[in-house]
Amino acid sequence: MKQVLIVEDDRNLSRGLCLALKNQELQIVPCFDLKSAREQLACGMTGLVLLDINLPDGSGLELLREIKTVSNPVPVILLTANDTEMDVVMGLEHGADDYITKPFSLAILRARVKAQLRRGIAQASKVFVIGSYRFDFEQMTFFKSDTAVELSKTEQKLLRLLVENQGVTISRAVLLERIWTDGADFVDENALSVTVKRLRDKLDAARYIKTVYGLGYVWAVKQDD
């Protein structure tokens, strides 16, 4: 489960943000000052920070600077009433991944949060070791035990979507849209079935790549015996 840390001293706004972002895939953790935010970040579970600049015990820019100096920084969206051009430039120059000024649309906020979480997964999850498999998406090397497996670009896209979402069924519509990004509307749905079969056969992964009939496909966390 991905954790979103909300650092906002306005408790009514914080409560509203928690409700707006709440879903089964996210754990929302509110903090009202820099001290409690630093304590939460030290636990190492945070996947995204929504950060106000004007906080009771200091500037959110201080915390932003601290977050961005570690070896594997989490994405940060500044969420603030400071709305001048200079404020935005300063926030981005301090390393913010996005900058949203108050008041804001909750729909846009949710979309930007999802975008940053997807980007964070893509950057952090380039190598997967699952059982006898090792998938390195940066180097484009794929192994079953000590045997290298050659995968096409389409098969690599499919594999990455499945392993990044282990245990989650991904619908055929989403897979078509995410794999054939240059024209999913014109792709025969049979192309997805063929790609899944080829990937299963190449990896000998029938125990992992499961068809969820009427829905889509999943990389199973628990395999059949």
Is 16:79 a contact under the CB 8 Å cutoff?
Answer: no
pLDDT at position 176: 86
Q: Locate 17 and state its tokens.
A: 């943000």
Give pLDDT, residue 123.
57
Dihedral sign computed on CA atoms, order 195, 198, 203, 208: positive
pLDDT value for 186: 62
**Cβ neighbours of residue 128 under 8 Å, at least 6 residues apart?**
134, 135, 137, 163
Query: Pairing between strand 54-55 and 76-80?
Result: unpaired
Contact (CB, 8 A) for 65 and 91: no
pLDDT reported for residue 169: 87
Phi/psi class of residue 90: alpha, beta or left (left: φ > 0; alpha: ψ in -120 to 50)?
Answer: alpha
- The structural domains of the chain, with segments of one domain joined by +, span 2-122, 127-219
What confidence tens digit (pLDDT) does each residue in 172-212 have? 888 888 788 665 456 677 899 999 999 999 999 999 999 99
**Below-70 pLDDT ranges, the chain:** 1, 70-72, 120-126, 181-187, 222-225
- Whether the Cβ atoms of residue 160 and residue 137 lie closer than 8 Å to each other: yes
- Provide DSSP, 129-182: EETTEEEETTTTEEEETTEE----HHHHHHHHHHHHTTT--EEHHHHHHHHSTT
Tokens of 46: 């945070």
The CATH label, of 3.30.70.360, 3.40.50.2300, 3.40.50.280, 3.30.70.3460, for the domain at 2-122 is 3.40.50.2300
Q: What is the pLDDT of residue 184?
A: 47
Task: Give CA torsion, residues 43, 30, 70, 58, to 10 deg.
Answer: -120
* Distance (Å, whole) CA 215 – CA 105: 32
Q: Evaluate whether the domain defined by 127-219 bears CATH number 1.10.10.10.
A: yes
Cβ proximity of 80 and 102 under 8 Å: yes
- Enter the pTM of the model: 0.55
The first and second tokens of residue 72, run together, are 């594997």
Spacing of C-alpha 156 from chain mean position: 18
